[in-house]
């Protein structure tokens, strides 16, 4: 492996030498800025720009459509009822859209490896970047064995033989995708995202056909289950408060379902034209999330009653998906196998995304000397291979499922990382709010930013409020009489003191300070934009304008 830091740029048409020349030209332009720069020399020199707007749009979409949509809706329906679940997912969908608009605006100005973790260092406090960065690394590194354990559960839908062989296979494949060029990662994720989209569209159409009585021998359902057993389910207590608590109890499920969307800009320095492509990818998520999630949750509530006894059993695979229950009862036997197969690719996709997030954020921490410098070493095709090797080694934790059961291990690892998503989303909103405050303090117009909207400042405040509220109250059930559970309490709140300890520990060790609004390097970023301009991406023409996924 070449670790000497050669240029690794890739042009849009795949010409390596041309891309390398462009990167050398960019590095020469950076030299005019002196010692202060946003994009570090290492990341500008050692990483390859292989992700295109097509890849980013589908990666963002794939992050929003995870295993939670296919497998967890049954539990949400059972807890909150059809209307309660729909409102919960709609609220989190709005939060996700606000978070992505905030991320897009800040990433367009600061297109750096590590995304919001590095943004926190530029905009808030280096100690916050350290704390959140290591929290994301920790969560991402545990997510890989968690997703592999989930994949084993899905495979057990067909066979429970040779689990060790399948674990080894998934670990090796995840490593190969992680160590290969970023272009290969982009193409694999593009294909997986397309499969998920096709499955969602298919099950929505199937659900409508079943609900409207289009299957021979099946009566029309309509909104029957909204009337009996009703639109809401009482949870913990009775009355209106019980209905509200059922709605609120679904929030963690909804957050988990959307987790991963924030990874769209983690590899900004490996993205072509990041100041244009990252905002476009973030912007497109709103309509897609609205269409896919809201319709899917709505259809589920029409197909299966919230008091269905089959929802009680959580196998962790497609057999207890409410879509599968409805299809099986309608006599459509192939659906369980199709859903299980696509969800299996979804678990693999989530593993790949966790690998990308963990390795790039660890690389970004090493750039700022908040992690050992050995993690800066890259291959000749621009992959931080030491980061990948470490994450692959930790992925072998999936072998614990051989003695404890794959589903049990999956939930162990999932519980350890669940509230880290809310912390990440909160930091993204804080970064954006601070950026707008700094613009006002420094007398810089929003029009000078590569991408911005006047209303996003307010949507970030709203999203931050909701994220913090869910973070503090997501585990409310353990405080109710008769519901105390030590494991649930730790899973819901352990991450908060860990992040605070990391923040104050690094703050005392390095004596960092919260940056003054006047010290946020907006002018430096704008100067880099002037010295390293991006070629304007031409608008879509002809039939390509009909492409609603990434066009």
240 vs 534 pLDDT, higher one: 240
Q: Please say if the pLDDT value at position 186 is more than 70.
A: yes
Provide the pLDDT confidence category of residue 19 given band limits of 50, 70 and 90: very low
Task: Please give the average per-residue pLDDT across 284-297, as a whole number.
Answer: 76
> Contact at 8 Å (CB) between 550 and 286?
no
Residue 378, classed as helix, strand or coil, is coil
Q: What is the pLDDT of residue 67?
A: 66
Give Cα separations from 200 to 211, 336, 351, 372 (angstroms).
Answer: 16, 14, 20, 42
pTM: 0.88
| Largest separation between any pair of C-alpha atoms in the chain | 75
Question: What count of other Cβ atoms lies within 10 Å of the Cβ of residue 234?
Answer: 18
Closest CA to 365 of 160, 213, 140: 140
Give Cα separations from 425 to 96, 101, 257, 370 (angstroms).
Answer: 8, 12, 14, 21
What CA–CA distance (Å, rounded) separates 327 from 344? Answer: 19
Provide the pLDDT confidence category of residue 540 given band limits of 50, 70 and 90: confident
Give Cα separations from 146 to 55, 412, 420, 424 (angstroms).
Answer: 25, 8, 15, 19
Structure tokens at 407: 């589903």
| Number of domains within the chain | 1
What CA–CA distance (Å, rounded) separates 385 from 359? Answer: 9
Q: What is the pLDDT of residue 391?
A: 93
Closest CA to 433 of 95, 102, 121: 102
In a domain, residue 8? The reply is no
In a domain, residue 10? The reply is no
Provide the pLDDT confidence category of residue 493 given band limits of 50, 70 and 90: confident
Tokens 């989303």 sit on residue? 425
The residues near 367 (Cβ < 8 Å, ≥ 6 apart) are 40, 42, 43, 113, 114, 118, 376
Task: Please give the average per-residue pLDDT across 510-520, as a whole number.
Answer: 93
Q: What is the pLDDT of residue 410?
A: 55
Closest CA to 477 of 466, 489, 459, 460: 489
Taking each continuous run of H as one helix and of E as one strand, the counts in the chain are: 24, 0
Provide the pLDDT confidence category of residue 128 given band limits of 50, 70 and 90: very high
Q: Please say if the pLDDT value at position 9 is more than 80.
A: no
Q: What is the pLDDT of residue 316?
A: 60
Tokens 């269905």 sit on residue? 308
What CA–CA distance (Å, rounded) separates 70 from 127? Answer: 38
Task: Please give the average per-residue pLDDT across 511-515, as a whole number.
Answer: 93
**What CATH number is attached to the domain comprising 272?**
1.20.1740.10
What CA–CA distance (Å, rounded) separates 76 from 74? Answer: 5
Phi, psi of 434 (to 5 degrees): -65, -40
What CA–CA distance (Å, rounded) separates 134 from 131? Answer: 6
Q: What is the pLDDT of residue 13?
A: 37
Q: With the C-alpha atoms ordered 523, 525, 529, 531, is the resulting torsion angle positive or negative?
A: positive
166 vs 216 pLDDT, higher one: 166
Give the residues across from 51 on adjacent strands.
271
Residue 237 structural domain: 16-534
> Contact at 8 Å (CB) between 498 and 135?
yes
Provide the pLDDT confidence category of residue 415 given band limits of 50, 70 and 90: low
Task: Please give the average per-residue pLDDT across 535-548, as a whole number.
Answer: 71
Provide the pLDDT confidence category of residue 406 given band limits of 50, 70 and 90: low
Provide the pLDDT confidence category of residue 30 given band limits of 50, 70 and 90: very low
What CA–CA distance (Å, rounded) separates 400 from 148? Answer: 11
Query: Computed over its alpha carbons, how large is the radius of gyration of the chain?
Result: 23
Least confident of 65-79, 212-226, 239-253, 405-419: 405-419
54 vs 414 pLDDT, higher one: 54
Q: Please say if the pLDDT value at position 58 is more than 60.
A: yes
In a domain, residue 11? The reply is no
What CA–CA distance (Å, rounded) separates 8 from 29? Answer: 17
Q: What proportion of the chain, given as a percentage, has pLDDT over 90?
A: 35
In a domain, residue 124? The reply is yes
Q: Where are the alpha helices (DSSP H) in 156-273?
A: 163-179, 182-211, 224-227, 239-249, 251-258
Task: Please give the average per-residue pLDDT across 30-47, as a whole number.
Answer: 64
Least confident of 31-40, 250-259, 474-483, 491-500: 31-40
In a domain, residue 103? The reply is yes
> Contact at 8 Å (CB) between 275 and 47?
no
Task: Please give the average per-residue pLDDT across 55-78, as a whole number.
Answer: 75
Q: What is the pLDDT of residue 8?
A: 34
Least confident of 12-16, 205-209, 284-288, 397-401: 12-16
Structure tokens at 197: 């989209």
In a domain, residue 176? The reply is yes
What CA–CA distance (Å, rounded) separates 187 from 189? Answer: 5
In a domain, residue 361? The reply is yes
Task: Please give the average per-residue pLDDT across 238-264, as a whole number.
Answer: 87
Q: What is the pLDDT of residue 63?
A: 65
Q: What proportion of the chain, given as a percentage, has pLDDT over 70?
A: 85
Provide the pLDDT confidence category of residue 417 given band limits of 50, 70 and 90: low
Give the residues across from 542 on adjacent strands.
none
Residue 248, classed as helix, strand or coil, is helix
What CA–CA distance (Å, rounded) separates 228 from 248? Answer: 21
What CA–CA distance (Å, rounded) separates 285 from 300? Answer: 22
Least confident of 10-24, 235-249, 429-443, 462-476: 10-24
pLDDT in tens, 200-233: 888 889 989 999 988 887 888 899 999 999 999 9
Task: Please give the average per-residue pLDDT across 302-318, as a whole number.
Answer: 78
What CA–CA distance (Å, rounded) separates 275 from 355? Answer: 24
Closest CA to 359 of 383, 379, 381, 382: 383
Q: What is the pLDDT of residue 505?
A: 96
In a domain, residue 457? The reply is yes
> Contact at 8 Å (CB) between 57 and 280?
yes
404 vs 103 pLDDT, higher one: 103
Residue 267, classed as helix, strand or coil, is strand
Task: Please give the average per-residue pLDDT across 113-118, as a whole number.
Answer: 90
pLDDT in tens, 337-351: 888 888 888 888 888
Q: Please say if the pLDDT value at position 165 is more than 90.
A: yes
Q: How does the average pLDDT of the chain come out, rounded?
A: 83
């Amino acid at each position: 492996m070449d670790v000497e830091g050669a240029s690794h740029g890739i042009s849009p048409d795949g010409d390596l030498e041309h891309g390398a020349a462009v990167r050398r030209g960019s590095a020469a332009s950076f030299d005019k800025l002196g010692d202060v720069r946003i994009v570090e020399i290492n990341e500008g020199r050692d990483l390859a720009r292989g992700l295109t707007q097509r890849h980013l749009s589908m990666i963002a979409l794939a992050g929003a459509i995870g295993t939670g949509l296919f497998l967890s809706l049954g539990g949400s329906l059972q807890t909150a009822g059809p209307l309660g679940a729909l409102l919960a997912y709609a609220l989190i969908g709005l939060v996700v859209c606000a978070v992505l608009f905030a991320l897009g605006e800040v990433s367009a100005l600061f297109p750096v490896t590590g995304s919001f973790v590095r943004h926190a260092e530029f905009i808030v406090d280096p100690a916050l970047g350290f704390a959140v960065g290591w929290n994301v690394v920790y969560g991402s590194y545990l997510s890989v064995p968690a997703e592999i354990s989930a994949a084993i559960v899905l495979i057990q839908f067909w066979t429970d033989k040779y689990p060790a062989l399948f674990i080894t296979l998934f670990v090796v494949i995840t490593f190969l995708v992680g160590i290969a060029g970023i272009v290969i990662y982009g193409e694999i994720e593009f294909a997986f995202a397309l499969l998920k989209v096709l499955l969602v569209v298919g099950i929505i159409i199937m659900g409508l056909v079943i609900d409207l009585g289009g299957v021979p021998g099946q009566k029309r359902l309509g909104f029957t289950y909204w009337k009996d057993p009703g639109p809401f389910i009482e949870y913990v207590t009775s009355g209106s408060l019980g209905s509200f608590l059922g709605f609120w109890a679904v929030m963690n499920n909804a957050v988990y379902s959307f987790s991963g969307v924030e990874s769209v800009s983690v590899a900004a320095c490996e993205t072509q034209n990041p100041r244009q492509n990252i905002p476009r990818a973030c912007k497109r998520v709103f309509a897609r999330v609205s269409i896919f999630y809201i319709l899917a949750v709505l259809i589920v509530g029409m197909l299966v009653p919230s008091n269905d006894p089959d929802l009680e059993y959580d196998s962790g695979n497609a057999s207890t998906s409410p879509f599968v229950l409805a299809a099986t009862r309608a006599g459509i036997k192939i659906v369980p196998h199709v859903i299980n197969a696509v969800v299996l690719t979804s678990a693999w996709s989530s593993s790949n995304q966790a690998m990308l997030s963990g390795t790039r954020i660890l690389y970004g921490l090493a750039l700022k000397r908040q992690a050992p410098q050995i993690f800066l070493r890259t291959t000749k095709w621009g992959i931080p291979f030491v980061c990948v090797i470490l994450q692959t080694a930790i992925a072998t934790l999936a072998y614990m499922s051989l003695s404890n059961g794959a589903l049990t291990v999956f939930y162990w690892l999932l519980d350890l990382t669940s509230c880290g998503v809310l912390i990440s989303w909160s930091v993204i909103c804080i970064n954006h709010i601070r950026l707008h405050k700094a613009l006002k303090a420094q007398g810089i117009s929003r029009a000078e930013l590569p991408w911005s909207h006047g209303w996003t400042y307010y949507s970030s405040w709203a999203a931050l409020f909701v994220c913090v509220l869910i973070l503090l109250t997501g585990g409310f059930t353990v405080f109710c009489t008769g519901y105390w559970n030590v494991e649930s309490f730790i899973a819901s709140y352990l991450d908060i003191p860990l992040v605070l300890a990391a923040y104050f520990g690094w703050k005392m060790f390095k004596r960092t300070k919260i940056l003054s609004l006047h010290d946020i390097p907006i002018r430096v970023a704008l100067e880099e934009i002037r010295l390293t301009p991006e070629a304007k991406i031409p608008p879509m023409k002809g039939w390509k304008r009909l492409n609603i996924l990434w066009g």
